[in-house]
A and B are shown apart, each in its own frame.
Chain A
C-alpha cells in the first residue's frame, strides 16, 4: 500500500523557518517525482514545488522561489520542504504527493494526509 506521511513543526512565528518531511512507503521511492501542494483554510489547492526522481531537477511556483526549497533523500525515502521568512498567509495544510511518473507534471496519484502549518504571532 502506498503511503506518504508528512511531519514537522505545526506552529511558527512570522519571519521564522520550518522544515517539513514526507516519508514514503509501499512504492519504489526513487523512481517517481514528488511534489508539495498546500491548501489554505477553506481555500483551494496551490502547487508549490516538484522534484525529479533523482533529485537533480526542481521546479517552483514563482511566488515561492527563494523562500521555499524542495529536496529529497532517496536513501531515507524522504521528501523535504524547507520554508523561510514565513508569513501569516503561509498558514495552510501542506500535502506531499507522488506523481505516477518522473515528468514533474503529475498526475498526483497518491497524497499524504497533510500537515497543518500555522504561522502566527
Chain B
C-alpha cells in the first residue's frame, strides 16, 4: 500500500497568516493527489483535486502544488472558518489511502 505522511500533525496560526502543509507519498504517485478539509463535527469536503485544482466552491486562498512524492497545501490569509483537519489522499494505486491528517488551530 502507498503510505501518505503529512506534516506537521498539528499547527497553530493566526488570522491573516499563510500556512503550508506537506504530504509525502511512499512512492511516485505522479499527480494523483487530492486534499480534503474536515471541520469539527462535519464530513470531509473536497478542497483540491489532481494536486492543484480547486474543488467546488473553494476560495482561491487555497492552493496546492507538487508532483511525484512531495506535495503541499497552502492556505493564505487565514480565516476563522479554516479551523479544520486537512487530509491528503492518493489515488494512484488501490487501495486508495489518506494521510493521517493535519489539525489546524487558529
Contact = CB atoms under 8 A, between A and B. Distances in A.
Interface of A: 44-47, 50, 59, 61-62, 95, 100, 104-114
B46 A45 contact: no
Interface of B is mostly: loop
B46 A44 contact: no
Contact of A59 (B1, B94, B97, B101): B94
B95 A61 contact: yes
Interface of B: 1, 32, 34, 36, 43-46, 49-50, 55-56, 87, 89, 91, 94-101
Contact of B99 (A44, A105, A106, A109): A44
Contact of B43 (A47, A105, A113): A113
A105 B45 contact: no
A106 B95 CA distance: 12
B45 A106 contact: no
Nearest to B53: A107
